[in-house]
């Protein structure tokens, strides 16, 4: 796994946005896998800037989000539908019909999950998946012990994740839904490129386990060690538990020109 350590979340996010922009310029019909949470916000801000001031055209792009809470309607301010609208979609020119987010209000959740998998397949698969990571190593909402071969399905959120996310729900854990629909770990692993972002000391342990620990369902992000091109882009505080951080810096600083972002 390639690990890129940057001084600040902003610097790391510029790298993530450049990777996405480069892909879209090379392949205007790119299929992007998108994430929510606080982590990708600066990447979205940079993409919006690239669109508004540097002519990045997203009009032929298709997007698939990782996950959605079960039971929150799209208009609920904490739904991931609302999050994407507010933080990316309404500022750029991706046609609404080509943005996809699991429907957490579906009456038949297994049917919805199968439909979502079909839609990803129908679009030709995901070219680049953007990921955050939970403090327990979850990706999407694939909590520890998730099957590393799992597909889009319903999951029960852990108490810890509900606690972590309570800050978006007036600090009240009782308001955080118990269930979600999430792409599976296997679904994520089929993406042709993966960019995992993590910022802050709170993520240091999860990142060290994901990048340097054994591959284990106890830290679902650790399966990315098996992805041929996964990149992990983190800030200094998120890098503090990595044993080989000096080596990662050395690799990044000595990249051949053609490999630079
Ligand atoms: C949320 C999302 C994940 C996200 C993670 C971290 O629960 N489902 O996709 O990566 O938790 O969130 P944050 O970026 O706010 O730390």
Q: Could you report the per-residue pLDDT of 146-199, keeping only the tens digit for each?
A: 999 999 999 999 999 999 999 999 999 999 999 999 999 999 999 999 999 999
- Which amino acid residue places its CA nearest to atom 5 of ligand 1? 134
Using a 6 Å CB cutoff, which residues line ligand 1? Answer: 35-39, 66-67, 132-134, 140-141, 161, 165
Asked whether the predicted pLDDT for residue 260 surpasses 90, the reply is no
Counting residues of the chain whose pLDDT is more than 70, the rounded percentage is 100
Which residue has a Cα nearest atom 3 of ligand 1? Answer: 140
Distance 138 CA to ligand 1 centre (A): 8
Q: Does this model's pTM top 0.75? A: yes
The residue with greater pLDDT, 216 or 160, is: 216
> What is the per-residue pLDDT for 56?
98
Whether residue 227 is predicted with pLDDT greater than 90 in this model: the reply is yes
Q: Could you tell me the CA-to-CA distances from 162 to 4, 36, 46, 217 in Å, in that order?
A: 29, 15, 28, 19
- Which tens digit of pLDDT belongs to each residue from 41-67? 999 999 999 999 999 999 999 999 999
Pocket test of ligand 1: the residue of 79, 84, 132, 137 to mutate, having most ligand atoms within 8 Å of its CB, is 132
| Percentage above 90 pLDDT, the chain | 98
Q: From the CA of 26, how far away is ligand 1's center (Å)?
A: 29
Closest protein CA for atom 11 of ligand 1: 134
> Residue 245 CB: number of other CB atoms within 10 A?
18
Residue 261's pLDDT band (cuts 50, 70, 90): confident
CA–centroid distance, residue 132 to ligand 1 (Å): 6
Per-residue pLDDT at 242: 98
Query: Which pLDDT score is estimated for 21?
Result: 98
What mean pLDDT is predicted for residues 122-136?
97
Output the CA 218–ligand 1 centroid distance in Å. Answer: 17
Convert the pLDDT of each residue in 67-91 to its tens digit. 999 999 999 999 999 999 999 999 9
Per residue in 236-258, pLDDT (tens digit) is 999 999 999 999 999 999 999 99
């Amino acid at each position: 796994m390639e690990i890129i350590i940057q001084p600040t979340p902003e610097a790391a996010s510029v790298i993530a946005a450049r990777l996405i922009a480069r892909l879209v310029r090379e392949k205007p019909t790119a299929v992007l896998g998108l994430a929510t949470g606080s982590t990708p916000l600066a990447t979205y801000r940079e993409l919006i800037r690239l669109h508004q001031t540097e002519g990045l055209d997203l009009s032929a792009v298709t997007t698939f989000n990782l996950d959605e809470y079960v039971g929150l309607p799209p208009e609920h301010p904490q739904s991931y539908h609302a999050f994407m609208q507010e933080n990316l979609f309404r500022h750029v020119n991706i046609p609404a019909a080509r943005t996809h987010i699991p429907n957490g209000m579906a009456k038949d959740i297994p049917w919805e999950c199968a439909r979502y998998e079909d839609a990803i397949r129908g679009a030709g698969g995901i070219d680049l998946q953007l990921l955050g990571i939970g403090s327990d190593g979850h990706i999407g909402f694939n909590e520890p012990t998730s099957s590393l071969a799992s597909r889009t399905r319903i999951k029960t959120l852990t108490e810890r994740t509900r606690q972590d996310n309570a800050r978006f729900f007036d600090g009240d854990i009782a308001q955080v839904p118990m269930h979600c629909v999430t792409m599976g770990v296997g679904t994520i692993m089929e993406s042709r490129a993966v960019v995992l972002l993590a910022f802050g000391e709170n993520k240091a342990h999860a990142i060290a386990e994901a990048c340097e620990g054994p591959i284990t369902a106890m830290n679902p992000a650790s399966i990315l060690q098996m992805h041929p091109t996964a990149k992990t882009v983190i800030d200094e505080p998120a890098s503090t538990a990595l044993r080989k951080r000096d080596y990662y810096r050395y690799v990044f600083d000595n990249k051949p020109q053609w490999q630079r972002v």
